[in-house]
């Protein structure tokens, strides 16, 4: 193993990935597991977790599944305690769990606004806080990767169904990433974000059913995100290869945001 291989090696580290049983979270979890991390998948649905665990285990990864509802803010501290008791340490946290809702801004329901903000921002902060207290601060080392979105960096196109709460939440994730990176950097904790563009997933299925061709036409690389397109950047940000990167949001969208 050369110098770069050693920097990318995650052997001996524990990575917690929320929303890790499918979609973008699963893709990131696969990358971390392939490079040696012991991966703890967190999701609400046991069936999805079991399927993801079997898939990753079949490829040689060390993977564990923990069913938890991150929308229950009161349970997050206990979840961090339980992970500590079971695995002894956490080195990497990937905050991927999230939700969206489509509605015109003038008609957006308040209860759904609150749900989107709570899961995408508040739960993300509370879990990051708990992991920092329990693991990263005592260790004086840790890496947090927040999954934001290009929707948090630009206005939503008016031709597409409105997602004002999601846009607002992901914009908050971008600046929360900066704020935590600035405050926790002197304590050895790196905090970064990935801002994906459109990838096929359950969350984007409705939009893509109607707008996929137009979205591809507006992407310089001429395609949607694929099943491997987040792996490299996630591995970089999680590993010592990205040891001097903090407070950054890296866009992975085939160039769509630049035009």
* β-pair partners for 66: 42
Instruction: Look up residue 49 and give its two tokens.
Output: 């977790």
The predicted structure's pLDDT at residue 211: 87
Closest to 118 in 3D by CA, of 71, 176, 174, 168 = 71
Whole-prediction pTM value?
A: 0.96
Read off the pLDDT of each residue in 7-22 and give the average, rounded to a whole number.
97
CA distance 132 to 126: 10
The predicted structure's pLDDT at residue 1: 65
pLDDT > 70: percent of the chain: 100
**Displacement of CA 19 from its chain's centroid (Å):** 8
166 in catalytic set: yes
pLDDT at 42 over 90: yes
pLDDT at 120 over 90: yes
pLDDT at 199 over 90: yes
Task: Decide if 246 contacts 177 (C-beta within 8 A).
Answer: no
Instruction: Set out the domains of the chain in order of their start, with CATH numbers.
Output: 3-254 (3.40.50.720)
Read off the pLDDT of each residue in 161-171 and give the average, rounded to a whole number.
95
How many residues comprise the chain?
259
The predicted structure's pLDDT at residue 206: 83
Q: 33, exposed or middle or buried, with CB in 10 Å at 0-12, 13-18, 19+?
A: buried
| Span 130-161, pLDDT tens digits | 999 999 999 999 999 999 999 999 987 888 88
What single-letter DSSP state applies at residue 258?
A: G
| Span 57-91, pLDDT tens digits | 999 999 999 999 999 999 999 999 999 999 999 99
Task: Decide if 166 contacts 117 (C-beta within 8 A).
Answer: no
| Span 224-259, pLDDT tens digits | 999 999 999 999 999 999 999 999 999 999 999 998
CA distance 223 to 228: 13
Give residue 32's pLDDT band: very low, low, confident or very high (50, 70, 90): very high
Three-class DSSP category at 168: helix
Given the residues 35, 125, 166, 199, select the one marked as catalytic: 166
The predicted structure's pLDDT at residue 188: 98
């Amino acid at each position: 193993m050369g110098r770069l291989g050693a920097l990318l090696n995650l052997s001996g580290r524990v990575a917690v990935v929320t929303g890790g049983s499918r979609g973008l979270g699963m893709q990131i979890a696969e990358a971390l597991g392939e490079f040696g991390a012991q991966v703890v998948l967190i999701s609400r649905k046991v069936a999805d977790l079991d399927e993801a665990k079997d898939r990753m285990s079949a490829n040689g990864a060390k993977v564990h599944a923990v069913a938890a509802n991150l929308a229950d803010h009161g349970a997050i501290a206990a979840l961090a305690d339980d992970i500590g008791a079971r695995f002894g340490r956490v080195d990497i946290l990937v905050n991927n769990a999230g939700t969206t809702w489509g509605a015109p801004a003038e008609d957006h329901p308040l209860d759904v606004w609150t749900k989107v903000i709570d899961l995408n921002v508040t739960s993300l902060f509370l879990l990051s806080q708990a992991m920092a207290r329990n693991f990263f601060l005592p260790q004086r080392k840790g890496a947090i990767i927040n999954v934001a979105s290009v929707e948090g960096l630009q206005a939503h196109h008016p031709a597409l169904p409105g997602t004002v709460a999601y846009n607002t939440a992901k914009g908050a994730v971008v600046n929360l990433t900066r704020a935590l990176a600035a405050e926790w950097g002197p304590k050895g904790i790196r905090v970064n974000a990935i801002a994906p563009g459109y990838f096929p997933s359950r969350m984007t299925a409705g939009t893509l059913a109607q707008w996929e061709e137009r979205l591809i036409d507006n992407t310089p690389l001429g395609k949607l995100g694929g099943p491997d397109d987040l792996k490299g950047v996630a591995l970089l940000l999680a590993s010592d290869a990205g040891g001097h990167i903090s407070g950054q949001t890296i866009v992975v969208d085939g160039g769509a945001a630049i035009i």
